[in-house]
């Protein structure tokens, strides 16, 4: 085997250096090593990682990876690897860090004439949805967002529903319409109630919106009838991606009573291409927002924490080449944690499976420039949002490109996800 024994430096992220060159603000340093699925011209999709400006073809590095993973990275989905559990995930990432560390640059497989076997320039690959997503659930876990929406439609005194501070509210979404970054999203048509005294009309949505979210992929999961405990939840979260839960607000307003969103959400959900592991994000754990009242015992996490991940949303109109930054938020603004979301989802005995995707819900801060949706930024269309590129928006226009980005900033390195991008196409006539 080509890898050398891990050194103490591998346990100190800030001191890690790689023989692969990259800038200090590169989102894919040796401290990251996320997982994804890619393809190159004429070849089938397969599993990879990322370092610097390169995709790592993991199917070509079996000799440096754990024996348990042999053959698993030849697949066009990460479900098999996700099912192996936290110990194998960590072991694999450590093997990659060891191989790509500066101390290992003299290894035979690291020689320049060998690198083309497994290092491919990112500009030469196509990224794919990284897993076979069997089920998708979206939560509503940011208190700031929930309160903003509540105030908007029910008033300040009734902003939060009675259950909100007791459990992570969620709904089951549509896995089939989850798409990879760069996929266009068609504006939907549907039933819209314009006048309470008149029947609904079937027309194009005029209130197309984005939602700034993060989401996590489930690992091994559980058997039907056997819940995942809050302690076990940590080892059942494979990693995080950025997510845009596209929403048609006027369709949503009419249809959501009494069972929640349906057609207003299943028009498309965009995720970023790279899944960042919880090991890579552990240095960025930060205290969670205070939870009052104290959650019920099954939601009390001894290791409760949020993650300091800076999030940003930019909009570029079809008539402009300049992007307007409209939101700067942070993953630490979530009230309910990822582990609490997973423990609650499975407490009924619901069986979670490798590759299932769970969204956080819109992540908003307290300040207006930290709001994670056009619904909030324009306050339901009553306060048009001015764009730095010129013009304004109440909601999204046809041709608008929405880019969600995010990173965690370490000492001398940055952990990124790749952008989450989509463009709004006109509705069908």
Tokens of 366: 């307290």
Q: Dump pLDDT digits (tens) for 291-304.
A: 999 999 999 999 99
Instruction: Give the Cα separation of 422 and 267 in Å (integer).
Output: 12
Per-residue pLDDT for 8 more than 60? Answer: no
How does the average pLDDT of the chain come out, rounded? 95
**Where in the sequence numbering do the catalytic residues fall?**
145
Pick the closest to residue 291 from 109, 205, 165 (CA basis).
165
Per-residue pLDDT for 6 more than 60? Answer: no
Residues 6+ apart with CB under 8 A from 18: 29, 30, 51, 52, 100, 101, 102
Predicted pLDDT of residue 10? 52
Residues 6+ apart with CB under 8 A from 44: 76
- Mind giving me the DSSP string for 246-300? -EEHHHHHHH-TTT--STTTTT-EEE-S-BEEHHHHGGGEEPPPP-SSPPPGGG-
Q: Identify the three-state secondary structure at position 68.
A: helix
Percent of all residues in the chain with a pLDDT value above 70, rounded to a whole number:
97
- State the average pLDDT over residues 134-160: 96
Predicted pLDDT of residue 11? 62
- State the average pLDDT over residues 70-98: 98
Element (H, E) at 151: helix 143-154
Residue 172 neighbours by CB distance under 10 Å: 11
| Extended strands (E) in 275-400 | 276-277, 285-286, 306-307, 310-316, 324-330, 357-359, 385-386, 392-393
Pick the closest to residue 360 from 385, 396, 381, 329 (CA basis).
329
Band the pLDDT of 319: cuts 50, 70, 90: confident
- State the average pLDDT over residues 270-279: 98
- State the average pLDDT over residues 148-153: 96
CA distances from 342 to 59, 232, 281 (A): 31, 10, 18
Per-residue pLDDT for 130 more than 90? Answer: yes
Instruction: Give the Cα separation of 4 and 57 in Å (integer).
Output: 20
Per-residue pLDDT for 23 more than 80? Answer: yes
Q: What are phi and psi of 123, to 5 degrees?
A: -70, -10
pTM of the model: 0.96
């Amino acid at each position: 085997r080509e890898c050398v024994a891990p050194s103490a430096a591998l346990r100190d992220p800030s001191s890690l250096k790689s023989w692969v060159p990259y800038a200090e603000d590169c989102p894919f340093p040796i401290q990251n090593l996320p997982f994804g699925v890619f393809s190159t011209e004429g070849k089938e999709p397969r599993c990879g990682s990322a370092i610097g400006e390169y995709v790592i073809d993991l199917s070509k590095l079996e000799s440096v990876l754990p024996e348990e993973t042999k053959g698993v990275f030849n697949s066009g989905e990460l479900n098999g690897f996700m099912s192996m559990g936290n110990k194998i995930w960590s072991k694999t990432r450590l093997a990659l860090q060891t191989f790509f560390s500066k101390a290992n640059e003299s290894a035979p497989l690291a020689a320049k004439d060998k690198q083309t076997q497994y290092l491919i320039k990112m500009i030469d690959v196509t990224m794919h949805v990284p897993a076979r997503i069997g089920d998708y659930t979206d939560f509503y876990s940011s208190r700031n967002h929930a309160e903003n929406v509540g105030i908007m439609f029910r008033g300040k005194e009734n902003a939060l529903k009675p259950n909100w501070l007791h459990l992570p509210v969620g709904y089951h979404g549509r896995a089939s319409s989850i798409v990879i970054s760069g996929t266009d999203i068609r504006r939907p048509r549907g039933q819209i109630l314009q006048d309470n005294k008149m029947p609904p009309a079937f027309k194009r949505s005029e209130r197309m919106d984005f939602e700034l979210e993060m989401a996590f992929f489930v690992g091994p999961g559980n058997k039907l009838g056997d819940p995942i405990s809050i302690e076990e939840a940590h080892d059942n979260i494979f990693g995080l991606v950025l997510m845009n839960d596209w929403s048609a607000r006027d369709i949503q307003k009419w249809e959501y009573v009494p069972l929640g969103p349906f057609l207003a959400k299943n028009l498309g959900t965009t995720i970023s291409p790279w899944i960042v592991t919880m090991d890579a994000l552990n240095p960025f754990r930060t205290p969670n927002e205070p939870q009052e009242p104290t959650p019920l015992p099954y939601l009390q996490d001894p290791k409760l924490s949020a993650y300091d991940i800076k999030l940003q949303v930019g909009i570029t109109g079809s008539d402009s080449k300049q992007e307007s930054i409209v939101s700067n938020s942070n993953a630490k603004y979530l009230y309910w944690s990822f582990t609490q979301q997973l423990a609650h989802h499975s407490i009924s005995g619901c069986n979670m499976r490798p590759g299932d995707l769970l969204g956080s819900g819109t992540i908003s801060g307290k300040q207006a420039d930290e709001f994670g949706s056009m619904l909030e930024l324009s306050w339901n269309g009553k306060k048009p949002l001015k764009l730095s590129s010129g013009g304004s928006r109440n909601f999204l226009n046809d041709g608008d490109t929405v880019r969600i980005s995010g990173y965690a900033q370490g000492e001398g390195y940055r952990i990124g996800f790749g952008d989450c991008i989509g463009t709004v196409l006109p509705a069908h006539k």
